[in-house]
Structure 1
Amino acid sequence: MTDQLNDEDGFFGDAVAARYDDPASAMFQPKAVNSAVDLLAELAGDGRALELGVGTGRIALPLSQRGVPVHGIDLSRAMVARMRDKPGGDSIGVTIGDFATTRVDGTFSVAYLVFNTIMNLTTQEAQVACFRTAAAHLEPGGCFVIEVMTPELRSLPTGQNVVPFHTSPTKWAFSIYDVATQAMSSNYVQVVEGRGECRSVPFRYVWPAELDLMAQLAGLRLRERWDGWTREPFTGESAQHVSIWEKPAN
């Protein structure tokens, strides 16, 4: 078994960064990437974009290629190094730090968190701080965008706290929920050449209404909420949402 936690890079050290970019994953499919970039480029307009948790540049690089200046904040030097190795990676300014509290110079038309990254902040306090950090970077009329899953509590069988999301002869993945604290973890068990590996990443799941309250505390107001990047209606059956909060122009 392996211990994935690296003091410098958190849960996204060299081993995770080396295999993070998985072309078979749905999040790396051109349709998923292009839909996100289309909306973010529209919101950025002629301004700049700030990505909280920029990682390996899955969204930042194609957004930059659209002509939008992008700056990223990330705790993991290993993930950022992967981005730097890609074409155009040197064009993205990056500040190493906790995206919940790290401040950078200047203002932005749009700040964004994609693919459940808000849940990497494992306390309500940190999530509230993140909204305040985003709001502080936005120019008047600017937008804060979050893509995040809807908590899967309806999938929990009565009396159980585990939701599996991948099974195969050599790999198993499942989420563990604590409904009393909103703590959860994604857990991965894999057998490679007869050797078992285990990785667990903690999260804090968060409800749309809770996010709206965090936005209100940061001086933002809800502008749009969709099922996804292509702007389908958000409903009670939606497994995820893309939400946009706006900083008042005056």
Structure 2
Amino acid sequence: MSGRVHLTMHGQVAQVTLSHPGKFNAMSRAMWRELKAVFEDLQGRADIRCVIVAGESGHFCAGGDIAEYPDFRFDEVALRAFHEDEVWGGLGAMLACDLPLLAQIEGNCMGAGVEMASCCDIRVASAGARFGAPIAKLGFPMAPREAALVAREAGAATAREMLLEAAVFDATEMKARGFLNTVLPDGTLTSAVLARAQRIVALSPQAARLNKQALRATQGAAAPTGDGAFRYADSAEHREGITAFLAKRPAVF
């Protein structure tokens, strides 16, 4: 099973749920494509006033589905297409959505999870949530536009620690650093986020869309991707990092 992105409705609130059982909702390629399709659909809907983005079974998203990586990551053209078309296709659709987006974060929020949370307007987490992007252990960097997104939302210092030290932070620390709006006791997150969404629903939908557009305009364009950004595709460290992870052994760089 390659995972799914589910769309459910609570009146005028849409909930987008990441579901990949047994993998802490790690994003497969199919899920990235579904994420794009879901948000492109939501952008055109007049009956929805707010979107909650959540994960299934106690976790937000543990990153990418590494089991798929050997199929494409070691070829530069395929790697670029994955990040620019599939991953950024999903993230870009979230960023372009004029509806208010609430991130409901619990458990693991790693790599792709941090990226998707960074696309949301308001981020609420349970006390037990954990945040990071320890992909240096896998021998590859975060793609340029994704790194720029995380640095903008989480802060450059936090992004550097996540990417250069493989640092993992708890929810309290991420709130102190300005990434999270609210941290709640475990077990109270779902009802609190839905109540917050309902408060947004009661406000002007036109104002929400115009505010989203204005705020997006202040952020400027995302960082461009350099021609050599994915030349590491066939490198020894890239292969070793992913091979070691799949073999459940420490990588030797």
Q: TM-score, normalised by structure 1?
A: 0.25
Q: Which has the higher contact order (CA 8 A, sep 6+)?
A: 2
Q: TM-score, normalised by structure 2?
A: 0.25
